[in-house]
Amino acid sequence: MTDTIARPGKIIAIHLSYASRADQRGRRPAHPSYFFKPASSVGVSGGTVERPAGTELLAFEGEIALIIGAPARRVALADAWDHVQWVTASNDLGLYDLRANDKGSNVRSKGGDGYTPLGPELIDARTVDPAALRVRAWVNGELRQDDTTAGLIFPLAQLVADLSQHFTLETGDVILTGTPAGSSVIVPGDVVEIEVDAPDAPGAPTSGRLITTVTQGDVPFDGDLGSLPAVDDLQRTEAWGSRELAGLPAEDTAPTLTPELRAQLLEAPTAGLSAQLRKRGHHSCFIDGVSANLPGTKIVGTAKTLRFVPFREDLFRSHGGGYNAQKRAFDAVAEGEVIVIEARGDATTGTLGDILALRAQTRGAAGVVTDGGVRDFQAVAEIGLPVFSQGAHPSVLGRKHVPWDVDVTISCGGATVQPGDIIVGDSDGVIVIPPALAAEVAADAVAQEIEDAWIAEQVAAGHPVDGLFPMNAEWRARYEQATGTGAERK
């Protein structure tokens, strides 16, 4: 077996394929997406895998590996399985400490030596039903994963047919078909076992147990050469499988911005909301210098923050390319969120363009607020995504900024913005509302709007504003009698 798969020409792995894993991650892909692993990552049963010095989040992933027996190029779905010769077990190991800067490609996070052990035995693909295979994983003898290919989002044959549309799958190539829920972090000394079998097939063929032992490395990464390991709570959560397993406090799942509160904020103008904030001692709620790309538009949402730092050549080389902070923010924005960008008030360079605007709209973002410029200004407007900015500028990323961080406290247009703050914008501008104050501020602003509308009626009828705006005791009594609010207050 070793001679057959020790050095495949290509190893192709899928990001998400099992429904249980997709549900755990909270996202289910519409189509399969892939990444490559180097042939040097192949390992064998009984081997070891190193957790590098300075890292903490090495995770196992029990997977079914397909080994191509006959070249496949543009094969039909009905014929795809005929090109698979062998089925075996794999452990698609990954180092989440390197994942953020590699996200999508997984070159470093998934490409380490020994990060793709295979085997130990081969199952003849012609003797099994690809929809009835099982994969299980144990860590130190405890069962951690147990799922079947009946739980796949994308059938195994579809992966073969899809990949063959784009390039030739050659004899010996390996396809890693994804991992179910249960993948988690392993530490030095842990022993991981993976087994793939077909329990309902004649003879119940099995790969046997693929055994890998984790060791501790002692050579640190050189930060002068490339990205250093870095982790945050998102990586810890995804590596361990849940916040609880990662030892993190449970998130408050109660929505800050309920449908009722959103409706009130949409009804209340920013001028009225800012007046209510001023009554409560908040005088620095304004994002200054920005205006809407779509006249008459209004945005209400929770803040997702993106921070740019001033351009510096070496920092742009390390943080400006690839899957940088800017792309991560637009790829991760949730429905109803507003991406708020700190660009230090610099209107002489763009901070987003039409592609990122389209991505935000597709994900259901409520809008974007940036105290910098917007590239492809007309195209962004035609997409229909509300954007508040300092106006148009044709420059690309890298003229003045380095995309640095997401989901941190930022300064935008002179206002401090934290992730989760309530953002409201209309023709008067954009304001930031602390979540704890949002409900009472919105309710009082709507009430004030009703009151102001009544005052406007009186002014239109010819009454002077003296004593009416604001209302003295006499006018207050008239208002309460006319609207019935006095009785309600009693």
Q: Delineate the domains of the chain, giving CATH numbers in brackets.
A: 2-240 (3.90.850.10), 283-433 (3.50.30.40), 440-489 (no CATH)
- CA–CA dist 424, 439 (Å, integer): 13
Top-ranked range on mean pLDDT: pick from 67-71, 223-227, 486-490: 67-71
> Lowest-pLDDT range, 18-27, 198-207, 348-357?
18-27
Q: Is the pLDDT of residue 255 over 80?
A: no
Summarised one tens digit per residue, pLDDT across range 106-143 is: 999 999 999 999 999 999 999 999 999 999 999 999 99
Q: Is the pLDDT of residue 162 over 70?
A: yes
Instruction: Give, as one character, the DSSP assignment of residue 285.
Output: -
Q: What pLDDT is attached to residue 33?
A: 93
What values do phi and psi take at 4, rounded to 5? -75, -40
Strand 367-370 to strand 291-292: parallel, antiparallel, or no bridges (unpaired)? unpaired
Summarised one tens digit per residue, pLDDT across range 440-486 is: 999 998 888 888 888 899 999 999 999 888 888 888 888 888 887 76
- CA–CA dist 456, 397 (Å, integer): 48
What values do phi and psi take at 348, rounded to 5? -95, 20
Q: What pLDDT is attached to residue 490?
A: 36
Summarised one tens digit per residue, pLDDT across range 338-383 is: 999 999 999 999 999 999 999 999 999 999 999 999 999 999 999 9
Q: Is the pLDDT of residue 3 over 50?
A: no
Angle of helix 435-460 versus helix 473-483 axis, rounded to 10: 100
Summarised one tens digit per residue, pLDDT across range 229-254 is: 888 888 899 899 888 898 888 776 55
What values do phi and psi take at 308, rounded to 5? -100, 145
Q: What pLDDT is attached to residue 46?
A: 93
Q: What is the average pLDDT value for the chain, to the nearest integer? A: 91
Closest alpha carbon to 279 in 53, 410, 408, 443: 443
Q: What pLDDT is attached to residue 429?
A: 93
Angle of helix 354-362 versus helix 325-332 axis, rounded to 10: 30
What values do phi and psi take at 135, rounded to 5? -125, 135
User: Is-above-0.75 flag for pTM?
Assistant: no
Summarised one tens digit per residue, pLDDT across range 285-342 is: 999 999 999 999 999 999 999 999 999 998 898 888 878 889 989 998 999 999 999 9
